[in-house]
Amino acid sequence: MTTLHEYHSEVLAWIDQDPDLETVAELRALLEASQAGDEHAQAEITDRFSTRLSFGTAGLRGAIAAGPNRMNRVVVIQAAAGLARYLLAHAQAGKTPSVVIGFDGRKNSEVFARDTAEIMSGLGVEALLMPRMLPTPILAFSVRELNASAGVMVTASHNPAADNGYKVYLGGNDQGSQIVSPADALIAEQIDFVATQMNVGELARGTYSIIAESVIENYISQTALVAGNTALAPSIQPHFIYTAMHGVGYETFAAVMSRAGFVVPEVVAEQNIPDATFPTVEFPNPEEPGALDLAYGLARRTKAELIVANDPDADRLAVAIPDETAAAGYRRLTGNELGAVLGWRTARELTRTNKSGTLACSIVSSPALSAVAKHYDLDFRWTLTGFKWVSRVENLAYGYEEALGYLVNPGTIRDKDGISAAVALLSLVNELKSNGSTLRDHLEEFSMTFGHFASEQISLRVSDLSEIPRLMTNLRSSQPDFVGGSAVLTFDDLLEGNSDFPPSDVLRFWLEDGSRIMVRPSGTEPKLKIYIDVVSREGDLAHRTSDAAKRLSTLAEGMKELLGL
């Protein structure tokens, strides 16, 4: 077992190679305090040096601080060098691999991006850096547009302000999708080699190129095409509010809106400029309570017909509509509601143009999209959670995941995109308004056409990460016969994988009343997530709505009881 004294030696070795004066000072202070007997400092050193921040299919993500179990310049340089070694090992003979690198407005994002560009260039990879902070979808688009071998986006998406992250994409046959197995493990091996065998301060640094504005312009032009021919005259378009959630979305969003013929929206000024401290929200995630409060207030004052929100790196989309029964006067649509209506839009367009295509969503998303596909005789696929899987579906026409991620134009990009999804949504709203209808009316029509689908998610946030595998083990070892009084017909454990899915830490219950329950650990946050889905197809809208709500409540209480919550 490693002793505290040995950790101190590791701290000194870390300081020796750390180019960041802030984290060097942080570690020196911790080292001095721990040597003086400060138990908190000793615990911090142990936590930071007893393990490494894991690199997987979500790349890297963690709190910004010193040490191998945090996000910092040393960890990022090691990741960049490891990725470079992977790309060089897998490059075609005689061909120099290339990487495009983007960054958002979080603390150290640009520093991490420039370190990545210089280190990868120094190791022999052609490095191209975005000219400024930009949305994640532009990076994903650029991997395909520039025919690059890989892409790196420095972002923690909608994580808390203290975090940053490192997301990796692959080009070639992967078409700019996020990494999946086995590439993640192979890259991780190279990162571990660098971390154990090399001093990052001694790695050569090279020069890099800045990506041309024409690449960004191409993204704007192609994304604007998602609107089709439905943009209306400004006097007819709905008045809507936009918030960038202190992120990097507005510049690109406004450019796309203008190109597509939409009126540029009124913005939540306090959240419109990138700010790494995210001062108006506890969590910069449109799904979190309170995140849209400023947007709700502005919408009430201006009587807006719609609220549109991107998360800080603009790869997710949230939408809220007027609702007199809601305390805020507006109700945010769930990811499943928005995913269903955008899928319906795609299905109708495929049918209208006599084209084929596959609709797809993650296994924790609502079965509503499968009902749309069946109605229009289209192919449908479930995938594992994460857009790295959704984006890889063959002949994909549309894909989504319930965590506000949507892909409406897979011919342009192979990742979720909150900006192109907003274009599709606004195009639909314009079409509805021209016919005297609203998005709320459209949702009600969906319920009467396909059934009223309702979903609920229970997120159990933990401070001790060991609590999550304990809960999953308990469920596996004592499989329930009933949940909320409804019999469990099938219990699927995907840990070993099957013919449809590679191995994944996911449990799925199908119940006798047609409901479905999914349980899985979050891939990016210290949470255990439970997804409950029901559908009601009998009676009028009021009956379907109340019946589904009642069944959701009963099943939610049943799951809480099972988990001892």
Note the residue count of the chain. 565
Please spell the DSSP secondary structure of 265-288, one letter per residue. Answer: PEE-GGGSS--TT-TT-SS--TTS
Please spell the DSSP secondary structure of 355-419, one letter per residue. Answer: ---EEEEETTS-THHHHHHHHTT-EEEEE-SSHHHHTT-TTEEEEEETTTEEES-TTT-SS--HH
- Token digits for 305? 């017909």
Asked if 100 and 121 touch (Cβ cutoff 8 Å), the reply is no
Q: 10 Å Cβ neighbour count for 560?
A: 14
Please spell the DSSP secondary structure of 419-444, one letter per residue. Answer: HHHHHHHHHHHHHHHHTT--HHHHHH
Any residues with CB less than 8 A from the CB of 184 and at least 6 apart, and which? 55, 56, 57
Choosing from 34, 98, 149, 157, the catalytic residue is 157
Phi then psi dihedrals of residue 93, to 5 deg: -55, 130
Phi then psi dihedrals of residue 495, to 5 deg: -60, -35
Q: Is 9 a catalytic residue?
A: no
Asked if 160 and 75 touch (Cβ cutoff 8 Å), the reply is no
* List of long-range contacts for 85-94, beta carbons under 8 Å, 24+ apart: 85/123, 85/190, 85/193, 85/194, 86/183, 86/186, 86/187, 86/190, 87/125, 87/149, 87/150, 88/123, 88/124, 88/125, 89/190, 91/149
Q: 10 Å Cβ neighbour count for 169?
A: 30
- Residue positions annotated with a catalytic role: 157
